[in-house]
Amino acid sequence: MARRYFGTDGVRGVVGRDLTPDLIERLGKAATLWSKGGRVFVGRDTRASGPELEEAFARGIVEAGGNAVLAGVLPTPAVALLALDLGVVVSASHNPPEYNGIKIFDRDGQKLTDAAEEEIESLLDAVIPGSVAGEIDRVDVANDSYLEHITERFGSELSGLRMVVDCANGAYSAIAPQAFEQLGAQVTAIGAEPDGTNINVGCGATDLSLLQRTVLTGRRSTATRSWRSSPTTSASISLPSR
């Protein structure tokens, strides 16, 4: 059976046109049935539509007898890392704010196979016998846990490094600048003030102009300093919005 909703990277579309709360709820139910009614860890990016779609997915999980663990705004790699029986992120990655989507990871944090996605789609209209409902739990420590994980596992000494970090007004806005600062870097954060409508707008991987301007401004500023100043190294990073 050919997939109708899943594409190369989950289910994505314009909210209200291609992607509706009803569809997301059905996906939540189908994914939970496919995982045999287990625990589903759910995160999202900073889009304004995220909370509504997160709640819709959670309703589907509960309807299928599963346990929805809602973590709020969290980067996609964190969701994969913290996946329970499933991990789900409500995000449309680099797409404009009017888009959103659903990406599902298995219990090992791996992207689902095409065959698994086909099986989930086959359960979209499944009738659930009985009336055993699941539960919704909310956690607020996932960001802290992920920050600690990445700095301890991947961190290195960055003292003397001046960095411009473009967070795309996405899920890394509350994590990336803090992570690099903890490792000793002097950080200039841009695209780090998400308001629900500005994700990937004039920033992020699809528009590097703000990052370029900020780096060039920093270089000009450095060039005017006294030669007696301490030497530093510069770097720039554009992070994915999800």
Query: What does the pLDDT look like over 180-221, one tens digit per residue?
Result: 999 999 999 999 999 999 999 999 999 999 999 999 987 665
Instruction: Count other C-beta atoms under 10 Å from residue 1's C-beta.
Output: 8
pTM value is 0.89
Q: Is 167 helix (H, G, I), strand (E, B) or coil?
A: coil
The residue type at 225:
R
How far out from the chain centre does Cα 121 lie?
23
pLDDT, averaged across the chain: 90
Query: What does the pLDDT look like over 68-106, one tens digit per residue?
Result: 999 999 999 999 999 999 999 999 999 999 999 999 999
Residue of 185, 178, 183, 172 lying closest to 238 (CA atoms) = 172
> Does position 31 have pLDDT exceeding 50, yes or no?
yes
Give all strands of the β-sheet with 233-238 in edge-to-edge order.
Answer: 186-190, 161-166, 233-238
Residue 93 known to be catalytic: yes
**Predicted local confidence at residue 233, as pLDDT:** 54
Q: Distance (Å, rounded) from C-alpha 171 to C-alpha 133?
A: 31
The catalytic residue among 93, 173, 238, 241 is 93
